[in-house]
Structure 1
Amino acid sequence: MNFALILFLLLLVSGVLWALDRFVASKRRSVGARTPWWVEYGASFFPVILVVFCLRSFVVEPFRIPSGSMIPTLLVGDFILVNKWTYGIRLPVINKKIIDVNEPQRGDVMVFRFPGDPSLDYIKRVVGLPGDKVEYFDKKLTINGQPVPQNAAGDYLHTDRLYYSPSFVEKLGNVEHRIIVENAAPAYVSQVTKYPFQENCTYTNRGLSCTVPAGHYFMMGDNRDGSFDSRGWGFVPEKNIVGKAFYIWFNSSDLKRIGSFQ
């Protein structure tokens, strides 16, 4: 369900009621007469809905992490904030950019509309920019022929299932972040769907190599063997960008997780 569309329709209805009451009905109403309840409540909600709509559309939007694809950076149940203006000002509902601000950078954690179903919001890390050649062979990431720096960071404990995964500190652009890799998982991409510009990618039993088309981005989860991402469903077009994730504002299981992240 498109919450932005629902909020826009509520704003439209309450705004019409507020305007009719303010400029038409109130002038025709006799002194002392009560305002109809449906007009009173509808009009009174308009300022609140307007503030929420503007904040959510142009400033920050809250999201909840539903899967483990971004472990260890983001956990299931994390409530995060997404900066809606850092990649440009976009019209609500249709998500069309009208003002340029910044472009996504390697290492950013980005929320976007899933290319296969734009009604779904996904969150992954920006790995490849337009024109980049991204290679992921034998679970090692290379961009434009340069291996991405990666250092061992000990084992990561999955507290929900009580097992360990090897973790590494990876540096994409100016961003250092942790990733986890499962040694037992295969190096090849096990799930691939048909997607635009698929001819830009070559798959082998060791991984894949892709050249990112203009106006698109290559995304990967920090849980490298537990993420269905650009390796399997292709590139994210610029028009699908929602915003940059930057802050965990709540997690009912661990309040210590509240704060910013890389």
Structure 2
Amino acid sequence: MNFPLVLLALLVVTGGIWLLDYLILRHQRTPDNVEPWWIEYPKSFFPIILVVFCLRSFLVEPFKIPSGSMIPTLLVGDFILVNKYTYGIRLPVANLKIINMNEPKRGEVMVFRFPEDPSIDYIKRVIGIPGDTVTYRNKHLSINNVPIQLEPAGDYKYIESGLAYIYTQRFKESMDGNEYNVLINQEMPDIQLSAVHHFPNRENCTFDQTGFSCKIPEGNYFTLGDNRDGSSDSRYWGFVPEDHIVGKAFLIWWNFNDLSRIGTLIK
């Protein structure tokens, strides 16, 4: 379901009825006539829908984390808030930028519409910006031939799909002043070549058994999940176009399974 479109439709319908009643219908009613339900209910809901629509479209939007691709930064079941104006003000539904603000920076956690199916929202970490060359070989990341600092941070385990424990290693990665943790399983290949899709500008990338290297075209971004060996990301389905960007994730506001995560800033 395209929730922003549904919300816009409700806003138009309730707002239209409110305006029709304000301009015409209320003048035709006698003082002892009660508003019919089809006017009373839309008028009551219109202000609420208007506030929700404006908040969600231009300020913040809530999301729920459905998968483990961003572990350990984000856990399955985290409810997060996304800043909708950090990367510019966009028209609702059309997602057309009308006011420029900031551009996504390396190391930031970004929500965007999945390039292969824009009705689905994805969340990943920005690794490369337009013009960068991203290389990932033998579990080490380089940007424009400069290795990204990676420091061991201990072992890590988590439950996958509620069935089995996954044992892996945690590392601290530093990029453009942003420090965050990633998971790397040394026993897994750097990339599953059979899972790489045919995506726009795929000719900008080279793949082999030891990893890949991609030159990011203008107007696009390269993303990876923090759970490097458990994420479907730009390695497999390609670049994120600028017009697919939704916003910057900044806060965990709820998790039913772990209340201690409430209020955690997303780094």
TM-score (structure 2 length as normaliser): 0.96
1:187-211 CA-partner distances (Å, limit 9, x unpaired): 2333111100000000011010000
* Partner residue in 2 for 1:237: 241
1:57-99 CA-partner distances (Å, limit 9, x unpaired): 0000000000000000001100000000000000000100000
* Partner residue in 1 for 2:251: 247
For residue 213 of structure 2, the aligned residue among 202, 209, 214 is 209
Contact kept in structure 1, 2:171 and 2:181, CA below 8 Å: yes
- Aligned AA (2:146): Q
Once the two structures are TM-superposed, the CA of residue 182 in structure 1 deviates from its matched residue by 1.1
Matches within 5 A, 1:68-147: 68-147=68-147
C-alpha distance in 1 between matches for 2:228 and 2:165: 19
Contact kept in structure 2, 1:65 and 1:80, CA below 8 Å: yes
Once the two structures are TM-superposed, the CA of residue 163 in structure 1 deviates from its matched residue by 4.0
C-alpha distance in 2 between matches for 1:61 and 1:206: 38
1:160-204 CA-partner distances (Å, limit 9, x unpaired): 544421010001111100000112211233311110000000001
Q: Which runs of 5+ in 2 are unaligned?
A: none
Aligned length in residues: 262
Contact kept in structure 2, 1:83 and 1:245, CA below 8 Å: yes
Once the two structures are TM-superposed, the CA of residue 31 in structure 1 deviates from its matched residue by 1.1
Contact kept in structure 2, 1:59 and 1:85, CA below 8 Å: yes
- 1:183 matches 2:180: no
Contact kept in structure 1, 2:134 and 2:142, CA below 8 Å: yes
Contact kept in structure 1, 2:108 and 2:125, CA below 8 Å: yes
Identity over aligned pairs, percent = 58
Which consecutive segments of 4 or more residues in structure 1 shift more than 6 A? none
- Aligned AA (2:202): Q
Q: Which runs of 5+ in 1 are unaligned?
A: none
C-alpha distance in 2 between matches for 1:187 and 1:61: 33
For residue 218 of structure 1, the aligned residue among 208, 222, 225 is 222
Contact kept in structure 2, 1:148 and 1:171, CA below 8 Å: yes
Of the structure 1 ranges 160-169 and 83-92, higher mean CA displacement relative to structure 2 is found in 160-169
Once the two structures are TM-superposed, the CA of residue 23 in structure 1 deviates from its matched residue by 1.5
- Aligned AA (1:103): E
Contact kept in structure 1, 2:107 and 2:125, CA below 8 Å: yes
Matches within 5 A, 1:192-203: 192-203=196-207
Contact kept in structure 1, 2:128 and 2:134, CA below 8 Å: yes
Contact kept in structure 2, 1:8 and 1:53, CA below 8 Å: yes
- 1:37 matches 2:37: yes
Contact kept in structure 2, 1:189 and 1:208, CA below 8 Å: no
Contact kept in structure 2, 1:11 and 1:46, CA below 8 Å: yes
Contact kept in structure 1, 2:148 and 2:173, CA below 8 Å: yes
- 1:261 matches 2:253: no
C-alpha distance in 2 between matches for 1:32 and 1:16: 24
C-alpha distance in 2 between matches for 1:137 and 1:196: 22
- Aligned AA (1:172): M
C-alpha distance in 2 between matches for 1:150 and 1:58: 36
Contact kept in structure 2, 1:200 and 1:211, CA below 8 Å: yes
Contact kept in structure 1, 2:68 and 2:75, CA below 8 Å: yes
RMSD: 0.9
C-alpha distance in 2 between matches for 1:49 and 1:156: 43
C-alpha distance in 2 between matches for 1:87 and 1:9: 26
What secondary structure is seen at the aligned counterpart in 1 of 2:52? helix
